Structure 1
């Protein structure tokens, strides 16, 4: 497989993720109000709660799909069809076990639904219908469409994304229409169940169209599992890494409530709704290279790996820096226009939120290569990160309130994610001195900060020209101007300073897309 092919596939994945991301925003904007008006806030609260209950049950899967995807990189690179069939058969066996466990746990959990929803006026028949529809729908991925892991590992995740977005868009439009004309809760859940089945069947069909030689046998997966002991090892290791992130995501709002107040949780959530959207957008684009990195490392050319690491590092820092500085520049003014002046948080808190967003965005590059090398055995790292996160938040939160609570995730991320992880990758994977990473990081930080400072100076010239416009028009014009200016400024600095970035631009220009 040629690098050019990897680059083209990564861009196709990124393009599909970008299109689907904005389509999701548009669909959600138009459907949310209709569902609220005709089905009610209590019903939508019910669907959200049911989804959360099922997400906790699905924690049992953490690590399996990722472990299989990693094991598939090498046989896909070598076009070893026999080995691929065996690995997917093992996945089918494991997913059948996990699916059976989740189904049983879900049935047991359903006995407590009357107690969990004791304060709602929604009939129990509706609650049970919704819960079982969600439960059965989640089973399709374990028993029918588990083979789609091969698409992700082979840099064809755009197929999964495209089909998912198509079915999801049709589903929510149909649910919105039925809500408008019938206000029937049961039809809402019926559409949810049917769309899940249809998506699984379509993806399964597409897998066999792309890989007609794929012949899997779940019944033999149990015996084959013994021949691949590394899969079990990777599953256990990845479980710790993923559960650490899950726990941290759930704990932060609780700590803010404990050390500040419940209203402050709402104010903080207003800001994180925006940062999560930004992070979702960039992750969808930048993580499209995940499978390409795994394939590249399977090739074994260390010099080529290092070249591509520097390139992806530049792209990650460039986009993370631009989006973080744009968010910082326009955050409070947007909140003021959107919700009101009373919802604005202090500048110090805003800067900490943006710093945390930048750290989360820029962490992906090292995690991509650690995954590609299969370096998951530092299972202590997510445990220490979670412990530091909670400890620092409690200590500083008790003293400084919200700013102190935010010191927890920032400190833990700096120490483990941006301290230990690069060291681990460079010593065990890339086999290069950690000084190489520090030089790379320092150069990119300097270029990004210079780009930001220069953009602020240029904006001082343009702002008087748009003064007097309507509030929203002024904000949109200001936001657009700043985004264009900082993007042009920073990209130019990268292009002039970094030779590998110039080479990448030439490569992109030469690629032809259908």
Structure 2
């Protein structure tokens, strides 16, 4: 990537990580205050209403993902007229979606007296809370849709800075008011008010960044006929997104159906820890997505493939380090945090980590598929879903959670591990797929070697991480740090991409030069 793209990617990562950790700290602290002052029932109510809204937001159809792809080339070419055309189409489509979601919200709310018939809350606070969440969501469709230009232009840091700052201030105000007044209506009103404030500030910033940007939603319908490929790609993206949504939400439902409600809670503890780490990884690495889109738009195949291997090396390094760390520390952490009775079978942990490793190392392929607009393989989404459900139902009756996780792993092995790289290299990069496997097999070998050697070495450590926090920290330091260094060195000398990736850091560039 060019220095400009690299600079923006690093800035996105820095700002994203800063706000991630800040928000993480506030979320643990604020949740405790809200539970104490507003009650667990109310927090449960807000979570339920947000899930209902999440289902309604499926009507977005993946249009945002699709539009970002069509913005890469005109941004790279600085074609302002084309950008305004695409943004006008986006505004028109999002207005339609906003209307659909608004109507869907009203229809869904009709069933609230039945859904919440046993709740301790009156319908007034339920409807007020849902209307607040729905209104905040609709602001994004009717007004904030222009923020996608910031993301496509590698300026996610602007969105993060304004939205996350507003969110932190909102949380502080809610904490103070919840502690002082314990008023549910006031808490909800602040939620909606800060959504409006963030909207005003963000759009002011967009006007400053792009003073030439003029969109006309009313012309969007006419312009859409000029760009029919947008609707074609949108339909393709939607199939993939609905599959991802359903499969990501199915674990707890399957465990409830085939195992027990108690095991849902046990599994949820492990899933929460893993999801927090996934969020951190995505916050760090997603800032390069738009940069890759702009890179592909330039049409320099040699440089594109070089950057692909750089991102592969980073993905495998981070995924391998996280997986090894969780393998060594997850069970002791859960034991110290909640008690030994909440610890899951070690085979379940291994299956969770296999799934995590595959899903994180797929990132580079996914980014480049998006950059090339490769979504036409809608059959693969259906195939992955059918394989997942078939294997899960067959295996879960015999092995419980093991079977559920095996269903997921088998489905992603066929589609994510085998098909998606083939699709990218043959249709996007137009390079023989054997080039991909010649490089990728090295990554598998280096990880398995590093994992095996350092796992054996860890058995000789004189620490017992389940006994105390001090023992846990010492054990963690003596396993994770050596593994990280050992794994990094092997990646550096035996795989494509890592050397080029670290040369982008000035101090390493001088050393290796």
Shorter-normalised TM range = over 0.9
TM-superposed deviation, 1:325: 1.0
- Matched with 2:497 is 500
TM-superposed deviation, 1:498: 3.7
Structure 2 Cα separation of the partners of residues 406 and 502 of structure 1: 35
- Matched with 1:6 is 5
- Matched with 2:442 is 443
Secondary structure at the counterpart of residue 507 of structure 1: coil
In the alignment, is the contact (CA less than 8 A) between 2:320 and 2:447 conserved in 1?
yes
In the alignment, is the contact (CA less than 8 A) between 1:145 and 1:204 conserved in 2?
yes
TM-superposed deviation, 1:470: 6.7
- Matched with 1:277 is 276
- Matched with 1:144 is 143
TM-superposed deviation, 1:47: 0.5
In the alignment, is the contact (CA less than 8 A) between 1:171 and 1:191 conserved in 2?
yes
In 2 relative to 1, CA 101–395 (structure 1 residues): closer, same or farther, beyond 3 Å?
same
TM-superposed deviation, 1:21: 1.3
TM-superposed deviation, 1:404: 1.2
TM-score (structure 2 length as normaliser): 0.96
In the alignment, is the contact (CA less than 8 A) between 1:8 and 1:511 conserved in 2?
no
In the alignment, is the contact (CA less than 8 A) between 2:132 and 2:189 conserved in 1?
yes
Structure 2 Cα separation of the partners of residues 17 and 225 of structure 1: 34
Structure 2 Cα separation of the partners of residues 467 and 388 of structure 1: 41
TM-score (structure 1 length as normaliser): 0.96
> Superposition RMSD on alpha carbons, in Å?
1.7
In 2 relative to 1, CA 216–400 (structure 1 residues): closer, same or farther, beyond 3 Å?
same
In the alignment, is the contact (CA less than 8 A) between 1:144 and 1:201 conserved in 2?
no
Post-superposition Cα deviations, 1:280-333, rounded to whole Å, max 9, x if no partner, equal 111111222111111110001111111111111111111111101111111111
TM-superposed deviation, 1:499: 5.8
- Is 1:402 the equivalent of 2:411? no
Structure 2 Cα separation of the partners of residues 499 and 107 of structure 1: 54
- Matched with 2:418 is 419
TM-superposed deviation, 1:62: 2.6
Structure 2 Cα separation of the partners of residues 24 and 456 of structure 1: 33
- Matched with 2:233 is 234
Structure 1 Cα separation of the partners of residues 508 and 165 of structure 2: 27
Post-superposition Cα deviations, 1:176-211, rounded to whole Å, max 9, x if no partner, equal 111100010011111111111111111111111111
Alignment of 1:41-120 (within 5 A): 41-120=40-119
TM-superposed deviation, 1:407: 0.6
- Matched with 2:206 is 207
TM-superposed deviation, 1:17: 1.6
TM-superposed deviation, 1:468: 9.9
Post-superposition Cα deviations, 1:371-405, rounded to whole Å, max 9, x if no partner, equal 00000001111111111111100111112222111
In 2 relative to 1, CA 110–460 (structure 1 residues): closer, same or farther, beyond 3 Å?
closer
How many residues end up aligned between the 2 structures?
Answer: 509
Structure 2 Cα separation of the partners of residues 275 and 350 of structure 1: 11
Structure 1 Cα separation of the partners of residues 390 and 498 of structure 2: 40
Which residue of 459, 467, 473 maps to 2:470? Answer: 473
In the alignment, is the contact (CA less than 8 A) between 1:69 and 1:150 conserved in 2?
yes
Structure 1 Cα separation of the partners of residues 2 and 454 of structure 2: 35
Structure 2 Cα separation of the partners of residues 345 and 109 of structure 1: 37
In the alignment, is the contact (CA less than 8 A) between 1:163 and 1:199 conserved in 2?
yes
Secondary structure at the counterpart of residue 183 of structure 1: coil
Structure 1 Cα separation of the partners of residues 261 and 442 of structure 2: 41
- Matched with 1:33 is 32
In the alignment, is the contact (CA less than 8 A) between 1:63 and 1:234 conserved in 2?
no
- Matched with 1:346 is 345
Structure 2 Cα separation of the partners of residues 227 and 201 of structure 1: 32
TM-superposed deviation, 1:451: 2.2
Alignment of 1:144-223 (within 5 A): 144-223=143-222
- Matched with 1:15 is 14
Which ranges of structure 2 fall in alignment gaps of 5 or more residues? none
Secondary structure at the counterpart of residue 249 of structure 2: helix
TM-superposed deviation, 1:453: 3.0
- Matched with 1:509 is 506
- Matched with 2:370 is 371
Post-superposition Cα deviations, 1:87-141, rounded to whole Å, max 9, x if no partner, equal 1111111111111111111122222211111110111111111011111111110
